[in-house]
Chain A
Amino acid sequence: MIPIDNYIWLSTVLFSIGVLGVLYRRNAIIVFACIELMLNAVNLLLVVFSNQLNDPTGQVFVFFIMAVAAAEVAVGLAILVMIYRKTKSVDIDILNQLKG
Chain B
Amino acid sequence: MTAYLFYFLSFVAIFSALLVVFSKNPVYSILYLIITFFAIAGHYVLVNAQFLAAVHVIVYAGAIMVLFLYVIMLLNLNKEDEPHKSYLAKIAAVICAGIMMVVLVASLRGTMQTATKSGSEIGFVNNLGKVLFNEFLLPFEISSILLLAAMVGVVMVGKADHTTQPQDKK
Contact = CB atoms under 8 A, between A and B. Distances in A.
A26 B83 contact: yes
Interface residues of B, number: 84
B66 to A, nearest CB: 11
Interface majority SS (helix, strand, loop, mixed), chain A? helix
A68 interface: yes
A73 B158 CA distance: 14
| Chain A interface size, under 10 / 10 to 19 / 20 to 34 / 35 or more | 35 or more
Contact of A70 (B20, B47, B63): B63
Interface of A: 1-10, 12-21, 23-27, 29-30, 32-34, 36-37, 40, 43-44, 47-48, 50-57, 59-60, 62-64, 66-75, 77-82, 84-85, 89-91, 93
A47 B53 CA distance: 10
17 contacts: A10-B13, A14-B14, A16-B100, A17-B97, A19-B100, A23-B92, A24-B21, A24-B85, A26-B83, A27-B77, A33-B20, A51-B48, A52-B116, A54-B116, A54-B122, A59-B128, A66-B56
A56 B46 CA distance: 16
Contact of B131 (A8, A34, A44, A60): A60
Contacts of A63: 52, 55, 128, 132
